[in-house]
Amino acid sequence: MALKCFRVSLTLFCGFWVVVFCDQDGFLSLSCGGARSYVDSAKIAWVSDNTFISTGNTTTVEYVEGTSSSSVPLRFFPESQGRNCYKLPVKNISSVVLVRAQFVYKNYDGRWKPPAFSVSLGTAITSTVNLTNKDPWNEEFIWPVSKDTLPFCVNAIPMGGSPVISSLEVRPLPQGAYQGGMEDFPNKALRTCYRINSGYTNGSLRYPVDPFDRIWDADQSYTPFHVSPGFDILLSFNLSSQKESPPLDVLQTARVLAREDVLHYNLPLQTLGDYYIVLYFAGILPLSASFDILINGDVQQSDFTVSTSKASTLYFTQKGVTSLDIALRSIRFYPQINAFEVYEIINIPSEASSTTVSALQVIEQSTGFDLGWQDDPCFPTPWDHIECEGSVVTSLDLSDINLRSISPTFGDLLDLKILNLHNTSLSGAIQNLGSLQHLEKLNLSFNQLTSFGSDLDSLVNLQVLDLHNNSLQGIVPDSLGELENLHLLNLENNKLQGILPLSLNRESLEVRTSGNLCLSFSTMACNDVSSNPSIETPQVTIVTNRKHTRRSHLLIILGATGGALFALLLTSLLVLLYIKKRKTEATYATSPVIDMRNWNAARIFSYKEIKAATNNFKEVIGRGSFGSVYLGKLSDGKLVAVKVRFDRTQLGADSFINEVHLLSQIRHQNLVCLEGFCHESKQQILVYEYLPGGSLADHLYGPNCQKVSLSWVRRLKISVDAAKGLDYLHNGSDPRIIHRDIKCSNILLDSQMNAKVCDFGLSKQVTQADATHVTTVVKGTAGYLDPEYYSTQQLTEKSDVYSFGVVLLELICGREPLTHSGTPDSFNLVLWAKPYLQAGAFEIVDDSLKGSFDVESMRKAALIAVRSVERDASRRPTIAELLAELKEAYSIQLSYLAALGHSG
């Protein structure tokens, strides 16, 4: 068999390697802990394992066997570490491979304490290795491949010592092998127990006798009785129907019983389980044998005939056995068998949904910690912080980890029953949990949450809600009472006040309220915000108006007792409310006429004008979490984009005016221009110039996707434009502005395909000239969020650079930052693309660009993109550096195209 060389590129979780090795038709032979490559006596090429695994320490043992001694390298893993995984590349998906591992302890550490640990392939725990009993220990599996990499892991078990491994081999098997007779066991793997070359006693045979490098052991000591010599007659067989392709050499010998009796193989098994038995027969004798086949005493096949020169294979399964007795009972002539194999049948648990896996990966990234979450969350052993039911993630406990906000990704963990975010520095409103319909227990205690939000209403299965030691303010919403299954509601140590909804007053529900300003069901009063305990509490009932609870319109009924004190109190309360109301109205009334002298060209529109311009809000051209954007036409014929904020996203009047003022200051050719605004009738409306080219996201992913027209040079031009806009925000404007939500859908194109950055809705001004960062509640879009900002809450210009880097990666790869398809390694664009681009491996470049870009131009853009998404913000370039690099990449591509034009 000729040696062939091929290149395997594989992405591991934390790095990238291009491995060049020689193989025998797809063989992969890893010398675990070995430093050198070598070819063994069977001409099999071995390589070091260090590019296939990133954990563990290596050492070498002197291994004495009989008179010869050899040194064996090995790799061992700290006991404290759960999973230690090799990522084995597999060439052909939907094939079957043999995976073989050897474990050697040989007292390498001088402690005479051989370890025990478990071994897993993919999601299945396949066996327990116990080196106390046997050293070296061999394990071999037959695995149905379904992905291009196969995780092979050794997993520490409690008190087991540190796992150790010395070699690992992968061998492709013939297509369709080892599937006959397995109909009752779909999607199962096999663990080798016996593979016997019947009638052959001179050692074991493997590669090159078996081109698939299975090891066929000699036929010894399995049947103490009836030992007969093997026959060795060379005949040729038509083996094309033998799916397993047993080697001819193996079929050339047989165990034959020369008397009319029963031929037995008694095979002890390690564990109680289900087993798969493959028997090989070949007609190497001049006479046809005929016999019954019994397994554990039951006839499986009666009167089976082996005809001269014919080969056949039989498959059997046995459920729930601890030993096997394979017996051939003579009928006519002598029973014979040429080879057999016995396998334990191993269940392969199904994988967690890709949505769950990618959501968890994003959450891990946002914590800024390496939680060690790799491969499947549930199998072979659940990840730390996670519990599963089957392959479904039902519990997530991130208590004491700094999260700072409940990111939208949590909403993807649809099967969660228990979510514990105790002490995770959450602030603001409870949000992004509305989709968790199975949630039974939600623990948000010890945070700085200030409002209930509106998501809790949808958690219909909620049984326990723990909100103690937060900063929740105001009243407890009525809707909590509608959670019928709730039996514990802990509101202790918040800043809540008022009457609890009566619907919470039921026997099945325990409500804990101590440590709040004033909170109870009773008709006992909560007199005032500044509840003065020295004032005698008057008897009042405060009935909340169900329709307007949030607006706290209170109807106050005078109770039986009261007196002058209460009257006084009531009066002052009413006066207070009145003043407050006046104040709000005043703000609305006066704000539009504030000093307009330094407002540049921004106009104030009346609501009537807006209605007319948008033809009564007829054509929606965009939607977002903030509200909707409508197409409008001003009286002078100019087209505009009219952005109307939802009620709930409205800013306070002052903040709105501030924002408008800020926006009106910004004039730059690569920033979408604010035409004016409307602040009337409780509306907050911004009017922008209209860009007919749509957003970059539309062009890359939109429904009538015009991706083809976005050539590399055009993409570079767009990125240069957008970088100019961002550079102006960071360096040109006063105050400096951090955009906070750079993404493809916020880069708009005009009719000449010039790009402009839009949506400063979330932007933050850095007021002091020397301030290096501002601390804020994390906002932005999943997939674009700077992980460092996420974990520190310190917002700097480098957060925009990170998001911009993600946009560049999208332009290069033509895919969105987060996807739920493909392998988990590819869900997150940054994690996936970075190693390829760092290595200059441009096979991941968008297919529609292939063959049309200058490599140097691509390299420049790729490298600056990769630097921009560095986790460590200080290692990211500034936007100015980024812009300079992009300009260069752009001009290189331009000259490349010009040269093409000349030659063509």
- DSSP-assigned beta bridge partners for residue 20: 7
Provide the mask over 502-531, with x wherever binding to ligand NAG is found by CB under 6 A and - wherever it is not: -------------x----------------
Binding ligand NAG (rule: CB under 6 A), the pick from 466, 680, 721, 759 is: 466
CB of 397 to ligand NAG, least distance (A): 7
Task: Label the pairing between strands 336-337 and 255-256.
Answer: antiparallel
Locus of tokens 């010869």: 68
Binding ligand NAG (rule: CB under 6 A), the pick from 330, 445, 781, 868 is: 445
Nearer to ligand NAG, 453 or 515 (CB): 515
Dihedrals phi, psi of 708, to nearest 5 degrees: -60, -35
Buried b vs exposed e over 721-731: b needs ≥16 C-beta within 10 Å? bbbbbbbbbbe
Nearer to ligand NAG, 198 or 684 (CB): 198
Rule CB under 6 A: which of 141-160 touch ligand NAG? 160
Nearer to ligand NAG, 94 or 655 (CB): 94
CB of 515 to ligand NAG, least distance (A): 5
CB of 26 to ligand NAG, least distance (A): 7
From CA 328, how far away is CA 534, in angstroms rounded?
99
Interaction between residue 92 and ligand NAG (CB under 6 A): yes
Q: Which of 415, 466, 741, 759 is catalytic?
A: 741
Provide the mask over 291-310, with x wherever binding to ligand NAG is found by CB under 6 A and - wherever it is not: --------------------
CB of 250 to ligand NAG, least distance (A): 15
Dihedrals phi, psi of 28, to nearest 5 degrees: -130, 120
Number of residues that bind ligand NAG (CB under 6 A): 29
CB of 593 to ligand NAG, least distance (A): 44
CB of 116 to ligand NAG, least distance (A): 4
Interaction between residue 238 and ligand NAG (CB under 6 A): yes
CB 436 within 8 A of CB 418: no
Nearer to ligand NAG, 171 or 724 (CB): 171
CB 301 within 8 A of CB 314: yes
DSSP string, 292-351: EEEETTEEEEEEEEE-TT-EEEEEEEEEEEEEEEEEEEEEES--EE-EEEEEEEEE-PPP
Is residue 331 exposed (0-12), middle (13-18) or buried (19+ Cβ within 10 Å)?
middle
Piece of the chain touching ligand NAG by CB under 6 A; list 236-244, 411-419, 671-679, 819-827: 236-244
Piece of the chain touching ligand NAG by CB under 6 A; list 90-98, 206-214, 701-709, 716-724: 90-98
Nearer to ligand NAG, 202 or 508 (CB): 202
Interaction between residue 94 and ligand NAG (CB under 6 A): yes
Binding ligand NAG (rule: CB under 6 A), the pick from 55, 132, 308, 572 is: 132
Nearer to ligand NAG, 12 or 352 (CB): 12
382-390 long-range contacts (CB < 8 A, ≥24 apart) are 384/82, 386/360, 387/418, 388/352, 390/349, 390/350
Locus of tokens 């900002």: 789
Interaction between residue 322 and ligand NAG (CB under 6 A): no
CB 715 within 8 A of CB 762: no
Nearer to ligand NAG, 445 or 796 (CB): 445
CB of 109 to ligand NAG, least distance (A): 7
What is the chain's percent helix, strand, coil content, to nearest 5?
25, 30, 45
The token duo for 502 is 């009566």
Interaction between residue 893 and ligand NAG (CB under 6 A): no
Provide the mask over 392-431, with x wherever binding to ligand NAG is found by CB under 6 A and - wherever it is not: -------xx-------------------x-xx--------
Q: What is residue 869's DSSP assignment?
A: T
CB 197 within 8 A of CB 147: no
Interaction between residue 24 and ligand NAG (CB under 6 A): no
Binding ligand NAG (rule: CB under 6 A), the pick from 24, 95, 166, 198 is: 95
Tell me: is residue 319 an annotated ligand-binding position.
Answer: no
CB of 390 to ligand NAG, least distance (A): 24
Binding ligand NAG (rule: CB under 6 A), the pick from 37, 57, 323, 649 is: 57
Interaction between residue 202 and ligand NAG (CB under 6 A): yes
Piece of the chain touching ligand NAG by CB under 6 A; list 44-52, 237-245, 797-805, 892-900: 237-245
From CA 630, how far away is CA 610, in angstroms rounded?
10
384 in catalytic set: no
Helix axis angle, 879-903 relative to 855-868, nearest 10°?
A: 160
CB of 402 to ligand NAG, least distance (A): 6
From CA 643, how far away is CA 127, in angstroms rounded?
61
CB of 621 to ligand NAG, least distance (A): 45
Task: Label the pairing between strands 149-156 and 116-121.
Answer: antiparallel
From CA 719, how far away is CA 727, in angstroms rounded?
12
Binding ligand NAG (rule: CB under 6 A), the pick from 55, 133, 821, 895 is: 133
Interaction between residue 446 and ligand NAG (CB under 6 A): yes
Task: Label the pairing between strands 764-766 and 736-738.
Answer: antiparallel
Q: What is the 3-state secondary structure (H, E, C) of 832-847?
A: HHHHHHHCCCHHHCCH
3-state secondary structure (DSSP) of residue 19: strand
What's the Cα-to-Cα distance from 276 to each of 97, 119, 143, 295, 793, rounded to whole Å?
A: 17, 20, 14, 12, 57
From CA 42, how far away is CA 582, in angstroms rounded?
93
CB 105 within 8 A of CB 154: no
Interaction between residue 240 and ligand NAG (CB under 6 A): yes
Piece of the chain touching ligand NAG by CB under 6 A; list 125-133, 572-580, 637-645, 883-891: 125-133
- Residues in touch with ligand NAG (CB under 6 A): 57, 92, 94-95, 116, 128, 130, 132-133, 160, 175, 202-203, 238, 240-241, 399-400, 420, 422-423, 443, 445-446, 464, 466, 469, 493, 515
Binding residues for ATP: 643
Active site amino acids: 741
